Amino acid sequence: MAQRVEAAERLLDLVIALTHTRRWMTKQEIRTRVHGYADAVSDTSFERMFERDKDLLREMGVPLVVEHDPVHEDDVGYRVDTSGYTLPPVSFTPAEVGVLSLAAELWQDATLRSSARRGVTKLRAVGPAPEPGAHAGLALRVRGPEAAFAPILEAIDERRAVAFTYRAASTGRVTRRTVHPWRLLNAGRGWYLVGHDVDRDAPRAFRLSRIQGRVRATGRAAAFEVPDDIDVTGLVATARPEPGTARLAVLPGRAAAVRSRGTVVAPAAATEGPLADREVLEVPYADVDAFAEEVAAYAASVLVLDPPDLRDAVLRRLRAVAALDAGQPADGAGPGGGHG
Q: What pLDDT, on a 0 to 100 scale, did the predictor assign at position 335? A: 39
Report the C-alpha gap between 85 and 122 in whole angstroms.
Answer: 12
What is the arithmetic mean of pLDDT over 59-86? Answer: 77
Q: What pLDDT, on a 0 to 100 scale, did the predictor assign at position 214? A: 92
Q: What pLDDT, on a 0 to 100 scale, did the predictor assign at position 333? A: 43
Length reported for the chain: 340
Query: Cα–Cα–Cα angle for 200, 204, 208, nearest 5°?
Result: 120
Residues 201-220: tens digit of each pLDDT: 999 999 888 898 899 999 99
Cβ neighbours of residue 21 under 8 Å, at least 6 residues apart?
A: 79
- Do residues 207 and 190 touch, judged by C-beta distance below 8 A? yes
Report the C-alpha gap between 320 and 183 in whole angstroms.
Answer: 29
Residues 126-181: tens digit of each pLDDT: 565 555 454 444 455 555 567 888 899 999 999 999 999 998 876 778 899 999 99
Q: Would the pLDDT of 329 be above 60? A: no
- Do residues 85 and 19 touch, judged by C-beta distance below 8 A? yes
DSSP 223: -
Query: Cα–Cα–Cα angle for 316, 174, 222, nearest 5°?
Result: 115
Angstrom CA distances, 191 to 207, 211, 231, 296, stand at 6, 11, 16, 19
Instruction: Give residue 7's identity as a one-letter amino acid code.
Output: A
The per-residue pLDDT of the chain, averaged, comes to 79
pTM (predicted TM-score)? 0.48
Q: What domains are defined for the chain? A: 7-84 (1.10.10.10), 91-142 (no CATH), 149-239 (2.30.30), 244-325 (no CATH)
- Do residues 180 and 161 touch, judged by C-beta distance below 8 A? yes
What is the arithmetic mean of pLDDT over 308-335? Answer: 72
How far is Cα of residue 147 from the mean position of the Cα atoms in its chain? 6
- Do residues 78 and 34 touch, judged by C-beta distance below 8 A? no
Phi, psi for 152 (deg, rounded to 5): -70, -40
Q: Would the pLDDT of 26 be above 80? A: yes
Q: What pLDDT, on a 0 to 100 scale, did the predictor assign at position 173? A: 84
Angstrom CA distances, 69 to 113, 225, 336, stand at 42, 37, 57
Q: What pLDDT, on a 0 to 100 scale, did the predictor assign at position 247? A: 93
Helix (H) or strand (E) holding 29: helix 27-33
